[in-house]
Structure 1
Amino acid sequence: MTHAQTLDLGLPGVDLPNIALNKPTKQSSDYRPSMTSDRAVDGNHNTNIVRDCAHVAVYNEPSLDWWQVDLRQTFLVQTVSITNRGDACNDRLTNFTVEVHTSDPTISNNSGLQLCYWHEDTVGKGLTVDLTCAVNTIGRYVRIVKYSSGHRPLTLCEVEVRGTPLHRTCEGMNLPNIALHKPTKQNSNDDWSKSSDRAVDGNHNTNAEVRNVELNNKTSMDWWQVDLRQTFLVQIVSITNRWECCHDRLTNFTVEVHTSDPMTSNNSGIQLCYWHKDTVGRGLTVDLPCAVNTIGRYVRIVKYSRGNKPLTLCEVDVKGTLWHKACGDFLSNRNRKKGSPLPCVRMQPAQSKSSHL
């Protein structure tokens, strides 16, 4: 037997763990008792169709074949890797879609369906193809669907799914503070002791005389920002207000997330994380959950200051998950087929098999 070898393309998403391994699976039908759906997530990359692969039933008439895995929790799904059979019938794995669902499509109306990838071409004999999902593909169930024109059923030897857990608000609180000691900027300083970096030094002291960032513009658009140094799925921004006088200044502000530095770009990558209309209490910390799929590198807090009410911040914590660009540049359509994300093919030599099921 020839052991599979892979070509390392340096794909960050492919370095993530396989979140489909040994998870519950289903398929539209079973061809034989030995070819059940769980064979495609057992971690075995052999391409012997009899012993190692999932295989739906063969029908004379056209059919809609499908296979799915339940990831058991919600993920930001980034790559789906599919290994084809290594015998003469490898040409059956063609013109299929990879879907991601928020609920089980066998019992729901597909209202949470997202298309990860549509693969039009044939996967080579015994090869693995790494398919990059469209940006912000989020769900719990990954389903592979193929329309069979008769005697060309869906067969899958292994399916690997890679992605990042999507932490909801309470879960996000357990994530590390990704803003700590990162580079900061603001539109002005009140004095030398109140520079922008004071808000990310890890000190939650609320004495404004020595702790806060205070801006001196009387009527202005005040802002403060932090550069996270990498792109994150930003989930929570926690802001601590001053304790002594003037705590009522921290009101009616927005938290923005940018993909590029808003000081040097045209804000084309801006996303609104949260608009906080009320006043943050004296010396209190408010935890603001971002909108779903808020992705970027720069977090900016903006407040329109009227009169002598500048923006003051004692500490800003940002929590989120590192965003892996699984293959290619998600933020452009460069080198893509129309309507499809960029695929990455991982070459594997075919193993010698004689089965023609």
Structure 2
Amino acid sequence: MRIKALVWVGSPSKLSVSCAVIPAIPAGESYNYSCSGMEGRYVNLIIPGDMKILTLCEVEVYGQGNVAVDGAATQSSVYMDWFAEKAIDSNRGLQQYPLCSSTNHETNPWWRLDLRDVYKISKVVVTNRNDCCAEQINGAEIHIGNSLENNGNDNPICAVIPAIPAGESYNYSCGGMEGRYVNLIIPGDMKILTLCEVEVYGQVPVLKRSFVKMQFNSRVDLTDPSVRENVLKQRIQNVTLHWSQTPKRVIQKVIVAMENNTLEINTVFI
């Protein structure tokens, strides 16, 4: 049966707009629908009409915009008012001052962007200064990862910048590297790091889910909802778990231990 579903995209300050109409999807398959850069906080799927049912086995949402603009930037030092945030203000700063970030002369100057979430990063675009000293960017390293050890500069390297001509923007492919932090660092003594714009393009990773089949040997009744939820919380920490089905009480083995006139029976739940 062919049922048309509508995909709407919107936000609290904007009316939701239809992105696509789903005429049909074959059983067990996944179809892609392009929303052409529509902006929104909420994604709704709706089937108009009476007596309908909407079943979704997975919904994946991908954004291709510059995710750097929503991040937070910092750097190892600040030259005058050339703050770190000026490298993510959506202005490539070709007039240079005061639209770029810059450190002082120092050892291993660095700039770090916190994306506030873990992204699969496809590319990083770096714009060099447009006046003198274009060679100061030479040898800069782009690091991507989730660690803040050594201010994030120990994360894996995406690319090394050999040179960028004055005022130009170069793209560096990162092949879907995952990370929350994007660092640029120039190794060496008496270096200065100036960035007129850093753009980061990527996608929020799809949540990875695992299914684990477990068998419990328990003295408590796992068919009791409150009891079985406590069992999960006690056994595994920092992981969200859900029962895929209510455990059934199946006695596979009875252990009789006559100590102090007490009969001990272990019940296996599957």
**TM-score band (shorter)?**
0.5 to 0.7
Secondary structure of the residue that 2:156 maps to in structure 1?
Answer: strand
Letter in 2 for 1:186: Q
**CA offsets, 1:302-335, max 9 Å, x none?**
112444x41110011111001243448xxxxx95
TM-superposed CA distance for 1:161, in Å, is: 5.7
Q: CA RMSD in A?
A: 3.5
In 2, the alpha carbon distance for the partners of 1:163 and 1:335 equals 28
Contact map agreement 1:327 1:342 (CA 8 A) in 2: no
In 2, the alpha carbon distance for the partners of 1:249 and 1:260 equals 27
Match of 2:103 in 1: 215
Secondary structure of the residue that 1:304 maps to in structure 2?
Answer: coil
Contact map agreement 1:182 1:229 (CA 8 A) in 2: yes
In 2, the alpha carbon distance for the partners of 1:201 and 1:221 equals 24
Secondary structure of the residue that 1:180 maps to in structure 2?
Answer: helix
User: Is the counterpart of residue 304 in structure 1 residue 191 in structure 2?
Assistant: no
In 2, the alpha carbon distance for the partners of 1:225 and 1:319 equals 16
Higher relative contact order (CA 8 A, sep 6+): 1
Q: Map 1:134-153; keep pairs closer than 5 Å.
A: none
Contact map agreement 1:251 1:280 (CA 8 A) in 2: yes
User: Is the counterpart of residue 177 in structure 1 residue 66 in structure 2?
Assistant: yes
In 2, the alpha carbon distance for the partners of 1:239 and 1:185 equals 16
Match of 2:75 in 1: 186
> Structure 1 pair 344/251, CA: closer, same or farther in 2 (3 Å)?
farther
Letter in 2 for 1:255: I
> Structure 1 pair 321/181, CA: closer, same or farther in 2 (3 Å)?
closer
Point out where structure 2 has 5 or more consecutive residues left out of the alignment.
1-22, 33-54, 211-234, 247-270
Secondary structure of the residue that 1:179 maps to in structure 2?
Answer: helix
Match of 1:247 in 2: 134
In 1, the alpha carbon distance for the partners of 2:197 and 2:243 equals 45
Number of residue pairs the alignment of both structures matches = 178
Q: Map 1:99-248; keep pairs closer than 5 Å.
A: 160=57, 175-191=64-80, 193-218=81-106, 220-248=107-135
In 1, the alpha carbon distance for the partners of 2:73 and 2:137 equals 19
Could you state the TM-score of these two structures normalised by the residue count of structure 1?
0.43
TM-superposed CA distance for 1:186, in Å, is: 0.5
Higher strand fraction: Structure 1 or Structure 2? 1
Contact map agreement 1:305 1:311 (CA 8 A) in 2: no
Could you state the TM-score of these two structures normalised by the residue count of structure 2?
0.55
Q: Which has the larger radius of gyration?
A: 2
Q: Percent identity?
A: 22
User: Is the counterpart of residue 260 in structure 1 residue 144 in structure 2?
Assistant: no
